[in-house]
Structure 1
Amino acid sequence: MFERVAELAIRRSRLILAVAVALVAFMGFLGGGAFTKLLPGGFDDPNSQSSRAAEVIDDKFGGETNLVLLVSSPDGRVDTPAAKESGQALVADLKGEKNLANVYSYWDTNLADLRSEDGNQALVLAHVKGEEAELQENAQGVIDAYSGTYKDALEVQAGGGTAVSADISTQVVSDLVLAEAIAIPLTLVLLLFVFGSFVSALLPLAIAVIAIVGAFALLSVLGSVTEVSNTATNLVTALGLGLGIDYALLMTSRFREQLASGASVGDAVRRTVGTAGRTVVFSAATVAAALASLLVFPQYFLRSFGYAGVGVVAIAAISALLVMPALFVVLGHRVNKGRMPWAKRQQPSVQASVWGRMARGVMRRPALTALPVLAVLLVAAAPLIGITFGTPDERVLPEDAESRQVTAMLRENFKSNDAAALHIVIDKAVAKEGLNSYASELAALDGVIRVDTSASSYSGGGSAPAGAGNPALGRPDAQQITVVSGLTPKSDEAEALVEEVRAVTAPAGTEPLVSGTDAELVDAKDAISGKLPLAIALVVLTTFVLLFLFTGSIVQPLRALALNVVSLGATLGVMTWMFQDGNFSSLLGFTAQPMEVAMTVLMFCIAFGLSMDYEVFVTSRIKELHDQGEDNESAVANGLGHTGRIVSAAALLLAVSFFAFGTAKITFMQMFGLGSGLAILIDAIAVRGVLVPAAMRLLGRSAWYAPPFLKKLHDRIGLSEGGPEPVSAPEPSYAKTSTKV
């Protein structure tokens, strides 16, 4: 296969480049509409009890509260005649909005829970209509129309789920623009230092652009046929830029190495495609396999990253395999044009390179050098012992976001939080006696302040009705019960209340469904924990199979998986120490909170895939030398001597594209960027630089072991390198400073 690709590039190089330019232009046009098709949210399991309850409430009761307007009176009291008159006028206007339903407030219900304890603020609650695709637009229209000063009489601020989602979506776009503005120029500068040549430095950026543009086109198409999260755009940018550069860097380095050894342009292209091209294909397969595991989860937030990730990896790999060889043929020796002043000196030989010397030093005393590194990584992983999980809320936003400020005031100034109430729906007729008995048991639960039904209202702890019910909560064929608590939303106590509410004996012949903010959190955690074993099994199995096909050994995949567990544990431990425990929160500007469960799973899959990316980079050269007759230690030392600089440079460049998201103001995107970048550096330096040569030295010949029947299988279906190549070929003249990358 690789021989045919190389020959195609040599014979039809200009045609390939012309087609590539046309495709990029088409994909750019198609991808330009991606943002209008992508959706906010996506953290809930559509098959969960809370989601099913929300569907029934939408269908029969007009929907749950998802918009909260916090209203303040300039006079300081919301009970004055003037404030009351203005408040009633505001409510009347809101009830006239076509995109709102279930509008109610303190002024038309006289519920004390809808007035702040100091009497200076009141709440208007409503449900914004619309499917997921139009919900944000409808909410933003209402927020824009009513936020601020209302008729010179009231001050209105917007909060609630739709307001938080709108603020997150707006901030995601701003964060993406800033991250790109940082990552792309910095990446170009680093590429100049790595290659020491302006032309060579531009080649990886060309592949990165193709990968990003292509992935946005893919998201645009997918957004037309299924639900895709808008936060997937961040992954497209970071992963497209990073992997495009990774694969192009590997291909370009090998091509320049072949030219420097005296090969013709055609032979250099053939050898580059047969070796580095093969590595790119296997590397992309391992990364794609890790990201494809996200497709098993029911939340479209995670599935979106699976779509985007697999798409951008495939496009980056195909571009590197087809476009890069065509560029090499057209450029030839001009690939070294535009040499930088610092690139005039030759690099040291493979045997004298920093990575070659490091590998030999490690293998002389493998246990002595590996144990301290393992100890540091295990200490870094220690915070995982106390890890807790949550879902995104207003705290992921900057403190000056209006929706976050409203939620903070709800918690501080109001005895209860009606916006975070649990909503129970029974999708059939219920006798009044059974409904009252059920509500009475709910009111007796710890933390409950009020239970409202269509028949009666119960105070927390009370067994007898405390007031008249709300007729809007009843239908001939359905009943809704609202459970209002004084517990902090998404706290352990609030989650426990969900379980207690679901355990209360229901009216005879009914199956109540419970929804609400805390119910959604419980269901999201259950959905992910239920699918996580399958996702991990798929990642491990596909990785094992691919690495076996790549190496012909069953020990190499096991060694790679074991080291991956250590480096991933350290990464997740550090992120827990920072984002859950609050370390560096003042410096980075985030609010400590439980680890976002979906983003933690995503970071695991991304980091795992990228670790295998560098595993393939390093192992490919080691195996190539081993197959040419070198003993295990020499193959490891010389293989790292060849690839260590490439891996460290690629890791730094990829880490930069992720670290750029450390500037994000959305906390979970900040965690994702910093965590992914850290995982890359840990893997490239600690694992590839120390643990891999130590493990290979300790394993010895057994590192390449496979049972005879598997060896026969590998001989039949495994892919092998191209023909032999002198291992003593001199290195190309790269930037001297790149040896330090």
Structure 2
Amino acid sequence: MSSSLYRLGLLMASLRWKIVGGWVLLLVIVGGLAAGLGGTFTSDIEIPGTEGQRGIDALANRFPEMGGTAGQVVFVTEDGSPVDEHQDQIDALMSDIGEVEHVSVAPSPFDDLSPGTLSEDGTALIAQFQMDFPTGVYPEASVEEISRLVEEADTAALDANLGGQVLHSSEIPFGIGEIAGVIVALLILAIVFRSLVPAVIPIITAIVGVGVSMLALVALSAGVDIPSVTTALGAMLGLAVGIDYALFILSRHRDQLSQGDDVRDSIGKALATSGSAVIFAGMTVIVALVGLFITGIPFLTVMGVAAAATVALSVVVALTMLPALLGIFGERLRPRRIRRRMQENGGALPAPDPQAAPRRSLRRSWVRLVTKVPALTILVVIVGVGALALPIKDLELALPDLGTEPRGTAARDTYDLVAEEFGPGYNGPLLVTADIINTTDPLGVVDELESDVAALENVKEIQLATPNQGADMAVVVVIPEGGPTDQSTKDLVAELRDRADGWEQELSISDVTVTGATAVGIDVTDKLSSALLPFALFVVGLSLILLALVFRSIWVPLKASVGYLFSVAAAFGVTAMVFEYGWFNGPLFVHVNGPVVSFMPIMVMGVLFGLAMDYEVFLVSRMREEFVHTGDARGAIERGFTANAPVVTAAALIMVSVFAGFVTSGWFMLQPIAVALAVGVLVDAFVVRMTFVPAVLALLDRHAWWLPGWLSRALPTVDVEGEGLAAVLEHRRWTQEHGQHALRLEDTVAPLLGAPGTLGPLTGAIAPGTLLVVRAPDDAARGTFLALAAGRHRPRSGILAVHDRLAPDDVAAIQGRTHWIGAGEQVSERLAGLSEHGLDRTVVVIEQIGDLAHAAASDDMLIARLDALLEAGATVIVGSRKDHPIDAERRLHGALRAPDRLLALSVQRSTASTLEGAHA
């Protein structure tokens, strides 16, 4: 992968203006689609199949007057007089509301059939109305018209307030806090790079990535139900990872420029090294977010896929637009001090003074401190994280209701007014529905059901009990004693459902359900809570597998997973402190305390997993690299930490600043997620990765990098630090010295195909435009060599290059350039079908020389076609079953226009194999 990324970086740098222009054009196109399609987001959160959702769906079909979006107007007299003195004014308002488009029913609260709710002192009244739109889909024009009517009805004598589900807004409150977070990120980047020019680049790429993904979501929302929180979550995550991924690549580029590297070559190297880690880091986040599908919750799956797509787009931007921008800025990204020294030294950087003492740094002092007594460091971390995690026991989950809206909004003021005048239960009524089609006395059955429900504990009153117009469905509107998120309300829902079977038998009714917005919210929370453990096992198991692949170790993945759980525990504990205990509410702009949004834990676990793996890879991979090169376990920890800690520090601070910016939005749906992610990143980067991890590695010493041999052989090799780049650069230098070659082998050893033993080591090279005859009576040896040249077999060691592609990293590219003509195939037709484009990079492998000779005998133009291919630079490799020249080979040699293009190679299971006539 590193070699492909190296070439990608060079290509993006050379096409820099076209690439940047392409991204800008894409942004404009997607923006046009978003504006033209006019999509809207939904604030509805539902889980099909739950009892609450089944009840809502049944109401929409069989009792449409109660199945749409509910609204309420709360009337309170200003002078304490009875509210019924204003009956004419109230009736007029409700009549006007009933005329608004999409309002299905708006009865007078003084109607005997559907009376409103009167307060105990008679000074306040709740009037209900129903819209024909389902919950979560709001016709803005209609709601605005109703709001205007209610405002006009508000007088000095009678206070009118609009409330209910119609005020659930799908708008995303972006504000100054998010902008401040980006500005703080810019300042951090400016400090890291000590220059404003490179600091701006990650901000630009992150904004482009987020802009394209968010506009795409707006366009998609015209045909797909997308929760409104999805865009805010995607924007928050996209900005954070977009800036971080660009930082990782840009910091590597700047380091290389500081060492005097050429700008274009440095871009390729930066992408091949840090770009590999960015891809791995992005994949971990993407897999964790897409993995939310295992919860079986549709809206959460949509959120996860949308957020994963945003992260994927951030990775693509970092691999394409970023190197293009690096190419545009060119030498301006090289530190001024280095530029000046290079100008003074004729364009080259002078060699460093070997006698110069290493500079003292805080990071070196820190890693020495935490690894001096590693067991003590580990104990301190466990105690500290444990203290932060203690409040988890008080963390409660629920879906936000209108009581979580900011104070001063109509929705929140009406919610508080209802709770004050009537009781908190009126903000979260429960609907008990039943199929009464089998009864001969619908009204009597409804009365009995009403009496039984009213007698239950935690029931304040029955607001309404009635059959529908067809007398086949009954609805009992239950007002609980507590609010929508109170435990007493949850207990009442559970008791109502427990008694359903008994009522069905006693009253000869069926399909008794407890539904309504409050019951649906309780169902969603229960479903999410039950999905938390399977998802946690999925994430931890995934981390163990991924890190075992990267670090070739047993203990490093275990340590990383434990550290991740530490970070999650601390994040949830601090979230409970803020939203349950009320700590730091003022500075964090938190306006309500109570249960946090129920999908916070599972979403935070998914996102934090990816970010934690980012820091683990960037920090520990450098330690592993140092250990592999030196064998010094303790020294590798210090050198690896010192090299990569500054980048991880900056990345974590940027993440925290972006997440903190979203905390200040005041949107309760997003605030707990932003707080948990900010705390989780802070703890993970500074407490876990920079303190706990070095201490554990120091305690384990060399054992930290141990992996059983059988497992090492079973696991594929993953290059996340661009280790394969060294081979690419070496082959590039070799090519500059020896010229272009179609095939290069150097100490190449490969296991034999279909037989025990090995082939090689082989050393040699052939130029493009060569016809190579591979002689070997040994079918396994000959087949192995042909498969190696065609990219169908991987070498065990040594160098195998086909043109500029190296095996095993680029076997797919080698296969893409190779045409394999198997035994018995029509050689003439296959050669005639070769495209003339890119022949100088084409390799043709013909399994049997007899097939080529037979084709030449029956096709007079074949030799001419073969000559033309060789002249154009194509390389042809042919297998022969003899270890000496045969007639077919001699005829080919005599027929070619340039006979010296034909070379021969004898291969066997011996170390003496050489390429005859090749330029070694």
Query: Which TM-score applies when normalising by structure 1?
Result: 0.87
**Deviations, residues 502-561 of structure 1 (Å, cap 9, x unaligned):** 122233351112112331232012211232233223222332222222222232221111
In structure 1, how many angstroms separate the alpha carbons of the residues matched to 2:93 and 2:384?
60
Note the 1:30-45 alignment, pairs <5 A.
30-31=30-31, 36-45=38-47
In structure 2, how many angstroms separate the alpha carbons of the residues matched to 1:155 and 1:577?
38
Which residue, 503, 507, 516 being the options, matches 1:506? 503
Write the letter of the residue equivalent to 1:37.
Answer: G
In structure 2, how many angstroms separate the alpha carbons of the residues matched to 1:645 and 1:398?
39
Write the letter of the residue equivalent to 1:51.
Answer: Q
In structure 2, the partner of 1:625 is 626
Note the 1:125-524 alignment, pairs <5 A.
125-131=128-134, 134-137=137-140, 140-150=143-153, 154-163=158-167, 165-166=168-169, 169-170=170-171, 172-173=172-173, 176-299=174-297, 301-336=299-334, 352-414=360-422, 417-418=425-426, 420-427=428-435, 429-431=437-439, 432=441, 433-451=444-462, 470=466, 473-504=468-499, 505-507=502-504, 508=508, 510-524=510-524
**Deviations, residues 236-258 of structure 1 (Å, cap 9, x unaligned):** 33222221221111111111222
- Structure with higher Rg: it is 2
* Change in CA separation of 1:96 and 1:78 when aligned onto 2, cut-off 3 Å: farther
Give the gaps of 5 or more residues in structure 1.
341-345, 458-469, 726-741
Secondary structure of the residue that 2:6 maps to in structure 1?
helix
In structure 2, the partner of 1:525 is 525
More helix per residue: 1
Write the letter of the residue equivalent to 2:281.
Answer: S
Which residue, 55, 58, 70 being the options, matches 2:57? 55
Shift of 1:724: 8.1
**Deviations, residues 410-429 of structure 1 (Å, cap 9, x unaligned):** 11211585552211222451
* Change in CA separation of 1:510 and 1:715 when aligned onto 2, cut-off 3 Å: closer
In structure 1, how many angstroms separate the alpha carbons of the residues matched to 2:604 and 2:387?
20
State the identity as a percent.
26
Answer yes or no: is the 8 Å Cα contact 2:389–2:570 preserved in 1.
Answer: yes
Answer yes or no: is the 8 Å Cα contact 2:424–2:481 preserved in 1.
Answer: yes
Shift of 1:16: 5.0
Write the letter of the residue equivalent to 2:310.
Answer: V
In structure 2, how many angstroms separate the alpha carbons of the residues matched to 1:356 and 1:349?
14
Shift of 1:647: 0.6
In structure 1, how many angstroms separate the alpha carbons of the residues matched to 2:433 and 2:395?
33
Which residue, 64, 73, 77 being the options, matches 2:81? 77
**Deviations, residues 219-273 of structure 1 (Å, cap 9, x unaligned):** 1343234221222222233222221221111111111222223333344234322
Answer yes or no: is the 8 Å Cα contact 1:249–1:650 preserved in 2.
Answer: yes
Answer yes or no: is the 8 Å Cα contact 1:208–1:241 preserved in 2.
Answer: yes
Answer yes or no: is the 8 Å Cα contact 2:44–2:137 preserved in 1.
Answer: no
Which residue, 96, 100, 109 being the options, matches 2:112? 109
Shift of 1:189: 2.3
* Change in CA separation of 1:350 and 1:641 when aligned onto 2, cut-off 3 Å: farther
Shift of 1:491: 0.9
In structure 2, how many angstroms separate the alpha carbons of the residues matched to 1:182 and 1:578?
21
Structure 1, 56-65 or 612-621: larger mean CA deviation = 56-65
In structure 2, the partner of 1:665 is 666
* Change in CA separation of 1:236 and 1:350 when aligned onto 2, cut-off 3 Å: farther
* Change in CA separation of 1:601 and 1:719 when aligned onto 2, cut-off 3 Å: closer
Answer yes or no: is the 8 Å Cα contact 1:39–1:228 preserved in 2.
Answer: yes
Secondary structure of the residue that 1:511 maps to in structure 2?
strand
**Deviations, residues 590-649 of structure 1 (Å, cap 9, x unaligned):** 221122211233223222322222112112222222232342222221111011100111
Structure 1, 704-713 or 133-142: larger mean CA deviation = 133-142
Answer yes or no: is the 8 Å Cα contact 1:197–1:338 preserved in 2.
Answer: no
Query: Which TM-score applies when normalising by structure 2?
Result: 0.71
Give the gaps of 5 or more residues in structure 2.
339-351, 727-920
* Change in CA separation of 1:26 and 1:272 when aligned onto 2, cut-off 3 Å: closer
Answer yes or no: is the 8 Å Cα contact 2:2–2:725 preserved in 1.
Answer: no
Mapped pair 1:582 → 2:586 = no
In structure 2, the partner of 1:681 is 682
Shift of 1:719: 5.9
Mapped pair 1:536 → 2:529 = no
In structure 2, the partner of 1:732 is none
Shift of 1:301: 4.8
Write the letter of the residue equivalent to 1:150.
Answer: A
Q: CA RMSD in A?
A: 3.0
Answer yes or no: is the 8 Å Cα contact 1:427–1:512 preserved in 2.
Answer: yes
Shift of 1:97: 2.8
Secondary structure of the residue that 2:107 maps to in structure 1?
strand
Answer yes or no: is the 8 Å Cα contact 1:180–1:660 preserved in 2.
Answer: yes
In structure 2, the partner of 1:731 is none
Shift of 1:96: 2.6
In structure 2, how many angstroms separate the alpha carbons of the residues matched to 1:114 and 1:179?
41
* Change in CA separation of 1:693 and 1:144 when aligned onto 2, cut-off 3 Å: same
Shift of 1:663: 1.5
Secondary structure of the residue that 1:148 maps to in structure 2?
helix
In structure 1, how many angstroms separate the alpha carbons of the residues matched to 2:134 and 2:20?
38
Write the letter of the residue equivalent to 2:393.
Answer: I
In structure 2, how many angstroms separate the alpha carbons of the residues matched to 1:579 and 1:151?
35
In structure 2, how many angstroms separate the alpha carbons of the residues matched to 1:701 and 1:89?
83
Higher relative contact order at CA 8 Å, sep ≥6: structure 1 or structure 2? 1
**Deviations, residues 653-712 of structure 1 (Å, cap 9, x unaligned):** 121111112212223423222321121111111112210100111222222222222211
**Deviations, residues 300-335 of structure 1 (Å, cap 9, x unaligned):** 553343123211211111221233333334444321
Secondary structure of the residue that 2:697 maps to in structure 1?
helix
In structure 2, the partner of 1:464 is none
Answer yes or no: is the 8 Å Cα contact 1:31–1:219 preserved in 2.
Answer: no
In structure 2, the partner of 1:465 is none
Shift of 1:474: 4.8
Q: What count of residue pairs does the alignment treat as equivalent?
A: 700
Write the letter of the residue equivalent to 1:367.
Answer: A
Secondary structure of the residue that 1:107 maps to in structure 2?
coil
* Change in CA separation of 1:12 and 1:676 when aligned onto 2, cut-off 3 Å: closer
**Deviations, residues 150-172 of structure 1 (Å, cap 9, x unaligned):** 28574321111221x12xx44x3
In structure 1, how many angstroms separate the alpha carbons of the residues matched to 2:594 and 2:154?
39
Answer yes or no: is the 8 Å Cα contact 1:274–1:721 preserved in 2.
Answer: yes
Answer yes or no: is the 8 Å Cα contact 1:350–1:356 preserved in 2.
Answer: no
Answer yes or no: is the 8 Å Cα contact 1:42–1:301 preserved in 2.
Answer: no
In structure 1, how many angstroms separate the alpha carbons of the residues matched to 2:709 and 2:223?
48
* Change in CA separation of 1:121 and 1:617 when aligned onto 2, cut-off 3 Å: same
**Deviations, residues 344-369 of structure 1 (Å, cap 9, x unaligned):** xx9x9887432233212222211122
